[in-house]
Homo-oligomer: A and B are copies of this chain.
Amino acid sequence: MTEVIFQPIGRRIDARPGDTLLEVAQEAGVALSAVCGGVGVCGDCRVRVLRGAVSGVNSTEREMLSGADLESGLRLACQVAIEGDSEIVVDVPPDSLSAPQRSQVEGEEIALDVAPVVQLHHLAALPPSVEDLRGDWERVQGITPSDWMVPAAALADLPGILRQHDWRVRMVTHGRDVVRFLPPARVPLGFAVDVGTTGLAAYLVDLTNGQTLGIAGATNPQIAYGEDVMARLTLVVRDAAGAGRLQKTIVEGLNGLLREVCAQASVTTRDVVDVVTVGNTAMHHLLLSLPVEQLGSAPYVPAISSPMVTPAAPLGLDVAPDARVYLPPNLAGFVGGDHMAMLLATATANQPGVTLSLDIGTNTEVTLNAHGQMWSCSTASGPAFEGAHIRDGMRAADGAIERLIWRDGELQWLTINHARPVGLCGSGILDAVAALRTAEIISLTGAMDRSHPNVQPEKVNPWFEIAPASQTGHGRPVAISRSDVNEVQLAKAAIRAGIKLLTERAGVSEMDIDRVIVAGAFGNYIDLENAIVIGMFPALPLERFHQVGNAAGIGAKRLLINAEERARAAALVRQLTYIELTNHPDFSDRFSQAVMLTPDPWD
């Protein structure tokens, strides 16, 4: 046996010599893309073996991979067999993961006891007789009547289960309420979802042992009603029926994921007895059909900050009819339960020294723990890193340029799924700005060098051609413009100003930060060096950064598995001090400094 470690997600698994890396990856739940089923035809399952003994490059690989690919160390996982018993470290490039993983359902996990809020009781009863005419419900309660309350939908299953399973039954309770009766062999399930503005990530959990039985991701179908939060809030405020449509849409999305994860585990959705959803405050309100007028206009207050436990059925979720949905607290109008879940999953509150935790998105939530005192803010980083307001911006889909480097005097790029380029996704946009800045084609203030041969020197908005029309998927060049660079400057300035103001409030220097925890899909894919080059992050040693993947989703799963985690979430909100940046006296100063494309804009 040898241990195989898949990076960067850090998944470890034991394997036997002779196993292919694709087989091992599948067993480990690393969803390597392999459309052909592992016969070496699709060329999707590209990995790099960083360390350890494996079989040499074979003829199939020579046929499927280019010389440059082979030179860069790329292999086809389906063709690589394990040899010997030394530890093997495998690097999985993002574009080798199949689609659901691109929406970030994976994340690092911290061990947790299995002690869910729902409880499982094993009950046995005596059959009725003319001498014993008690009801079935009284029959399973033993001699001392408890004060459990049983709703009609749950109770309806009891008579059948008792008579079909020799008068034995499992009862799932939530506090004093019965949620569901199950046959003796069936396990109660939990469903956790990270409801992002752009993507959904869902997990099915066995609540008896905390094991993840299914994982699925999808685009948030509300995107059809508006790419960003404000567009959706505006729709609801303008159109009374809009809230209902948005709610129905997201629930259909969640039910689709629920069916998918339950199919993976061959279980019924009706055995899901507890649900956790985490999302920003707007996603929280839209899922629950709460009014958003007060959330969409100053001073931006939520309908509720506290943790919620609300019945699942009225929302339209196809789980056990008496299951509840738990939603962690919202700290403020723009710091929601997903950030609380991320902070829990990364144990931000328990870190020694100084820890900075960020969720980068249209709004970037930032929390600083400086020696046990904690401050949070939300900063309007805008949709540039989601590809919006960018000339050739796009979401992370086939043909999006996601990596760019300046090498040998030219800009080299990599697209998702090796498709012909059609635009730039968030990480590509960040890389492009950093690369052009490194090459000094753009200046400290974002001005573009009009004399460079690849720059089209248009008067108002010059642009740099990344891929000529002859190479792209749509016959037009893919480029980055001066105004795109400015959008990136505004986005990164907002994030950096937020970080700076929190450190100032805490009385520490940016250089005192011991660790930076970067969560979320974009945060997981970005090149940290480039993020430092453009001044989005302070120029800390790279080993202080931790890209943790979908920490909000992992936090959601933790809130499902352990009831104490919910108490910690409630306590966390009380520990955090929210800093409103919109009316902060120093914000505009810091922001205008942070616009400069330099690692240290404060000089």
A306–B152 touching, CB < 8 Å: no
Please measure, in the bound complex, the distance between the C-alpha atom of A128 and the C-alpha atom of B289, giving whole angstroms: 21
Q: Does A55 contact B (CB under 8 A)?
A: no
Shortest distance between the CB of A577 and any CB in chain B (Å): 12
B133–A578 touching, CB < 8 Å: yes
Please measure, in the bound complex, the distance between the C-alpha atom of A152 and the C-alpha atom of B153, giving whole angstroms: 20
A295-325 interface bits toward B, Cβ cutoff 8 Å, 1 = contact, 0 = none: 0001111111110111101110000010000
B580–A136 touching, CB < 8 Å: no
Q: Which of B156, B299, B306, B310 is A133 in contact with, Cβ under 8 Å?
A: B299
Q: Which of B149, B289, B298, B303 is A137 in contact with, Cβ under 8 Å?
A: B303
Q: Does A150 contact B (CB under 8 A)?
A: yes
Please measure, in the bound complex, the distance between the C-alpha atom of A136 and the C-alpha atom of B129, giving whole angstroms: 55
The residue of chain B having its C-beta at the shortest distance from the C-beta of A293 within the complex is B159
Q: Does A427 contact B (CB under 8 A)?
A: no
B137–A288 touching, CB < 8 Å: no
Q: Does A291 contact B (CB under 8 A)?
A: yes
Please measure, in the bound complex, the distance between the C-alpha atom of A247 and the C-alpha atom of B519, giving whole angstroms: 49
Q: Tell me whether A155 and B290 are in contact in the complex, defined as CB-CB below 8 angstroms, given that A135-B304, A135-B306, A308-B150 are known contacts.
A: yes
Q: Does A78 contact B (CB under 8 A)?
A: no
The winner among A139, A163, A305, A321 for most chain B CB atoms within 10 A is A305
A133–B314 touching, CB < 8 Å: no
Chain B residues with Cβ below 8 Å from A308 are: 150-152, 155
Please measure, in the bound complex, the distance between the C-alpha atom of A150 and the C-alpha atom of B290, giving whole angstroms: 12
Q: Does A387 contact B (CB under 8 A)?
A: no
A299–B130 touching, CB < 8 Å: yes
Q: Does A72 contact B (CB under 8 A)?
A: no
The winner among A159, A289, A303, A315 for most chain B CB atoms within 10 A is A303
Q: Does A67 contact B (CB under 8 A)?
A: no
Q: Does A29 contact B (CB under 8 A)?
A: no
Q: Does A371 contact B (CB under 8 A)?
A: no
A299–B137 touching, CB < 8 Å: no
Chain B residues with Cβ below 8 Å from A288 are: 152, 155-156
Q: Does A158 contact B (CB under 8 A)?
A: yes
The residue of chain B having its C-beta at the shortest distance from the C-beta of A158 within the complex is B303
Q: Which of B133, B310, B333 is A300 in contact with, Cβ under 8 Å?
A: B133
A133–B304 touching, CB < 8 Å: no
Q: Does A476 contact B (CB under 8 A)?
A: no
A301–B128 touching, CB < 8 Å: yes
Q: Does A278 contact B (CB under 8 A)?
A: no
Q: Tell me whether A163 and B133 are in contact in the complex, defined as CB-CB below 8 angstroms, given that A288-B156, A301-B128, A306-B138 are known contacts.
A: no
Chain B residues with Cβ below 8 Å from A330 are: 135
Chain B residues with Cβ below 8 Å from A291 are: 156, 159-160
Q: Does A215 contact B (CB under 8 A)?
A: no
Q: Does A332 contact B (CB under 8 A)?
A: yes
A152–B289 touching, CB < 8 Å: yes
Shortest distance between the CB of A579 and any CB in chain B (Å): 11
Q: Which of B129, B153, B155, B293 is A304 in contact with, Cβ under 8 Å?
A: B155
Please measure, in the bound complex, the distance between the C-alpha atom of A158 and the C-alpha atom of B293, giving whole angstroms: 12
Q: Tell me whether A299 and B129 are in contact in the complex, defined as CB-CB below 8 angstroms, given that A159-B291, A159-B294, A291-B159 are known contacts.
A: yes
Chain B residues with Cβ below 8 Å from A138 are: 304-306
Please measure, in the bound complex, the distance between the C-alpha atom of A298 and the C-alpha atom of B145, giving whole angstroms: 25
A140-157 interface bits toward B, Cβ cutoff 8 Å, 1 = contact, 0 = none: 000001000111110110
A302–B135 touching, CB < 8 Å: yes
A159–B303 touching, CB < 8 Å: yes
Chain B residues with Cβ below 8 Å from A321 are: 314
Please measure, in the bound complex, the distance between the C-alpha atom of A298 and the C-alpha atom of B299, giving whole angstroms: 66
The winner among A149, A158, A298 for most chain B CB atoms within 10 A is A149
- 20 further contact pairs, Cβ within 8 A, besides A128-B299, A130-B580, A137-B303: A128-B294, A130-B583, A133-B300, A133-B332, A134-B305, A136-B302, A137-B305, A138-B305, A145-B306, A149-B309, A151-B311, A152-B310, A152-B314, A153-B289, A155-B290, A155-B304, A156-B290, A159-B290, A159-B303, A313-B314
Q: 10 tightest A-B contacts by CB?
A: A152-B288, A135-B305, A137-B304, A135-B302, A152-B310, A151-B310, A128-B301, A135-B304, A159-B291, A130-B299
- 26 A-B residue contacts at CB 8 Å? A128-B299, A129-B299, A130-B299, A130-B583, A133-B332, A134-B301, A135-B303, A135-B304, A135-B305, A137-B305, A151-B310, A151-B311, A151-B314, A152-B288, A152-B289, A152-B310, A153-B310, A153-B314, A155-B290, A156-B288, A156-B291, A159-B290, A160-B291, A163-B294, A313-B314, A314-B321
List the interface of chain A (C-beta within 8 A of B): 128-130, 133-139, 145, 149-153, 155-156, 158-160, 163, 288-291, 293-294, 298-306, 308-311, 313-315, 321, 330, 332-333, 578, 580, 583
